[in-house]
């Protein structure tokens, strides 16, 4: 059972480009789509990384529970829905305006609860 994971992130522009090339991106695409990060790496971004304990996996072991879904703090069902919190859910129009956000939902999306529209 994996109890923790961590990594040192890429911080070298040539390695960044090579990794994206392996994924099928050209150097031009990397520079265009990820230009901010690419330029920062060219100026010598420091190595960065971290690790994080898998608290849910530790609790699973301590509880002798074979199914992680029985101990996970924020469980979701097979449709990626959190039934306890009602997520995902639609955001009220006033909250979107407050945050200066506009949604580009598909045309077939129906009205949200309360009769407000998201489009």
DSSP-assigned states of every residue in 29-78:
HHHHHSHHHHHHHHTTPPPEEEEEE-HHHHHHHHTT-S-GGGT-SS---T
From 32-36, 70-74, 85-89, the region with the lowest mean pLDDT: 70-74
Across 83-89, average pLDDT: 89
Work out the mean pLDDT of the chain and round it to a whole number: 86
CB 67 within 8 A of CB 91: no
Q: What predicted TM-score, i.e. pTM, was given to this entire model?
A: 0.44
pLDDT at position 72 is 86
Q: How far is CA 89 from the centre of its chain?
A: 17
User: Does the pLDDT value for residue 33 go beyond 50?
Assistant: yes
Across 36-56, average pLDDT: 89
Please write the tens of the pLDDT for every residue from 101-114: 998 888 875 555 54
Say how far apart CA 34 and CA 28 lie, in whole Å.
10
pLDDT at position 2 is 76
In the chain, % of residues over pLDDT 90: 47
Of 72 and 62, the one with more pLDDT: 62
Domain boundaries, the chain: 4-80
CB 42 within 8 A of CB 87: no
């Amino acid at each position: 059972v994996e109890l923790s994971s961590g990594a040192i992130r890429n911080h070298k522009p040539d390695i960044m480009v090579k990794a994206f090339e392996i994924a099928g991106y050209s150097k031009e695409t990397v520079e265009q789509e990820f230009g901010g990060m690419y330029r920062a790496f060219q100026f010598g971004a420091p190595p960065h990384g971290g690790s994080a304990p898998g608290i849910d996996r530790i609790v699973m072991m301590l509880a002798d529970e074979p199914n992680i879904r029985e101990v996970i703090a924020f469980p979701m069902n097979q449709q990626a829905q959190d039934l306890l919190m009602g997520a995902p859910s639609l955001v009220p129009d006033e909250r979107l305006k407050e945050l200066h956000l506009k949604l580009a939902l598909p045309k077939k999306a129906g009205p949200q609860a309360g009769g407000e529209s998201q489009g």
